[in-house]
Chain A
Amino acid sequence: MNRKEFLADCGKKGLAGVALSMFPWLESCSDKAQQEVKGEKARIGMIGTGSRGLYHIKNLLRMPNVEMVALCDDYRPHLEDAAQYYPKAKLYDDYRKLLEDKNVDGVIVTTPLYLHGRMTMDALRAGKRVFCEKSMAYTLDEALEVYNCRKELNGVLFIGQQRLFDPKYAKAMQMIHEGKIGKVVGVRNYWYRNNDWRREVPSPELERRINWRLYSEYSRGLMTELACHHLQNGSWAMGMLPEKVMGSGSLLHWNKDGRDVYDAVSAIFTYPNGVNMTFESIISNKHFGMGEQILGTEGTIDLVTCMHYTDEPAPKGSGMHQLVAQIESGVMSNSVFAGTSWAAETSPLAPGMPIMDNVTISTGESTVGAEADGSIEIMEAFVHAVITGKQPEKVLEESYYATQFALLADKAMHEGAILTLDDKYRVPYTPLG
């Protein structure tokens, strides 16, 4: 089910008003919004055409209102890879030249983290509408600078927190906010892989350029590359921001190749009401894969598997429901349900209920990008915004704080301290519906 089907489905159920008021940033998918941009083209330039850039290109190719007019990378093989998909695009090896290109309306920044802030601000100042991969910036100060820059220029800025645009997450959050799992009492996130997180390096002098994720000079490692997705879910579910952060990180297993970012991290984020959100990532064991679990007094929602588990689960395939369906349909047939006394099973065994039908589940194993995780939808929304110049409500603040708390947790790990976000980094925040 894609975003359009999701919204159409909401409509069928008489929830369209509720859904759109709860998810205003999804409005670009509405018929009205689509009519607004019919026949128009978003002229896009991409800065950074490595693996993540190519991932976006493959999605952009499906969008008829995208015209890729410029591509930029200072690593020629990557640039040539991307140019195969868009042979008419102008090629640059200096992003500043691309920003001077008057044919470019919107810019997609898919470069190493340490470049995000600078490139985003330069693009905004050049009058471009910007999509930048998460995390938003390399430091707390820089993230604030980017946020303020966008605000002062009244520009368009999307950060690649694609879960915000994933229909299954939107549906799950709606259920959480409607109280379907009771009061939220915990948020549990984990992301486990078992690989070295390296990209192939054709020549040793390219090691740090290609494997920038592994070096603290360019990246904050697992917190900025993975955790920021989960941290944003926590705030979305909780409707508030964490108050304090603590954590511990180690270079545990992949410690012989010269990298200096942690390969095992655990962090705890405590909200003002006492609820803890945890994030754990280990990249030398993958058994549990990825989990994003919102724990309530009456049930649990696993965002990754798109399942809802109640703490008082109903019997499997209740025969009483069969009886109800029979009477509704005006028929009688056997209903099989009697047996020895049914007892509520414990959570791991209890059959959950899918939140939506026909969803694609991401295991979190891919180091490039997943299928059906909101990446297409966020890019569609960005393309719409490139044409209309409209910044969607609230989502930038979500992305901003996801970055800030990812960076703060990384800092807490390095300092061995319990940290709070300094007031100077606070920007107006309205919880998502």
Chain B
Amino acid sequence: MAEISYSRKNPDYPIVYATFGAMHTRVELLAVGLDEEQGRGLMAEAEREVKRLERLFNRFDSRSPLAVVNMTAIGQSVKVDDELFMALELCEVFRRATAGYFDVTAADDGVETGRDGSGGYALDGKEHSVRILREGARIDLGGFAKGYAAESVRRIFEQAEVRQAVINFGNSSIVAMGHHPYGEWWPIGIEHRKVKSAVAREVKLKDGAMSVSGRAESGEYHIIDPMTGNRAVGEELIVVEGRSALVAEMLSTALYAAPRNRRAAIMAQYEGYVASEIYCRADGTTECREIGKMKK
């Protein structure tokens, strides 16, 4: 259950804050200007939605529809519900639109899925079915689910006419609605894992979203390069800002997996999105370079 708190310390801007664990991380939601009953109710509704999506997209839960696909759809078509089908369609569109670097079938070490340019699964729109094309391949929606869930929460907040809110999935997928009550944006500092608590870059989020990908906090390289089946190894952070949390998340994953010299070409297809690489120098300072604007 979510821990929900309500603060009226600033009577002009009452705050409802909720936090709960989901999708292998911690979700934090903050909304401003609601009365307590509405605020608490809204947070509970948001948690229910996120947990529902977690059950749908979690490949490690043997009861999830995705796990069923992974277990039964190798070489044969398996029908799936509308939402999972739509998610797989979106992932396939993004795979093509990232030169194959966003590939949800690049889920396990050593499974090379993208080199021949085809995807890891086939969809049948009439039947609403999916078929996994390669032996050993499995679908992992980890790079999709948090962005998708963040957008779902945003919709819930919008329907409730929330004007100012921050939706944070594990610090890596963040949606901002409106702006900070005392500023023109929400100021979100990014820290590099090697330089804790220092601002490597500040993002001014207003009615937008951002996503960060890179080597995990634990030190693990967890993103797999679909072209090789090996883990993408890089010390830089990839930060993508734009309107949609879902697009930002898929793009940051793809850009991290892609070689540096291919990143600008991928970004050229995404109007309204800005991507940056943040490097940590040997002296502990950080350097931020916008992708597509780097000197050659």
Contacts and interface: CB of A to CB of B under 8 A. Distances in A.
Interface of A: 312-315, 317-321, 323-324, 326-345
A130 to B, nearest CB: 46
8 contacts: A321-B17, A327-B181, A334-B187, A335-B187, A337-B168, A339-B172, A341-B172, A342-B171
B39 to A, nearest CB: 13
A214 to B, nearest CB: 47
Contacts of B174: 338
B109 interface: no
B212 A336 contact: no
A339 B192 contact: yes
Q: Which of A319, A328, A330, A333 has the most CB atoms of chain B within a 10 A radius of its CB?
A: A319
A112 to B, nearest CB: 50
Contacts of B218: 343, 345
A336 B202 CA distance: 8
Given A315-B26, A327-B180, A328-B15, 19 more contacts: A315-B170, A318-B19, A319-B189, A321-B17, A323-B166, A331-B182, A334-B188, A337-B188, A337-B191, A338-B171, A338-B190, A338-B203, A340-B213, A340-B217, A341-B25, A341-B212, A341-B216, A342-B25, A342-B172
B214 interface: yes
A337 B30 CA distance: 14
Interface of B: 7, 9-10, 12-13, 15, 17, 19-21, 24-26, 28, 30, 32, 146, 166, 168-174, 180-183, 186-193, 197-199, 202-203, 210, 212-218, 237, 239
A345 B24 CA distance: 10
B172 A336 contact: no
Contacts of A338: 171-172, 174, 188-191, 203, 210, 212, 239
Contacts, number: 133
A178 to B, nearest CB: 13
A419 B194 CA distance: 55
A314 B26 contact: yes
Contacts of A314: 19, 26, 28
A312 B21 contact: yes
Contacts of A330: 10, 12, 182
A339 B191 contact: yes
A335 B188 contact: yes
Nearest to B181: A327
A343 to B, nearest CB: 6
Contacts of A335: 187-189
Q: Which of B189, B210, B213 has the most CB atoms of chain A within a 10 A radius of its CB?
A: B189
B201 to A, nearest CB: 9
Nearest to B187: A334
Q: Which of B7, B28, B213, B218 has the most CB atoms of chain A within a 10 A radius of its CB?
A: B28
Nearest to B256: A340
Given A327-B15, A339-B172, A332 B182 contact: yes
B146 A341 contact: yes
Contacts of B182: 326-327, 330-332
Contacts of B215: 340
Contacts of B188: 319, 334-335, 337-338
A318 B217 CA distance: 15
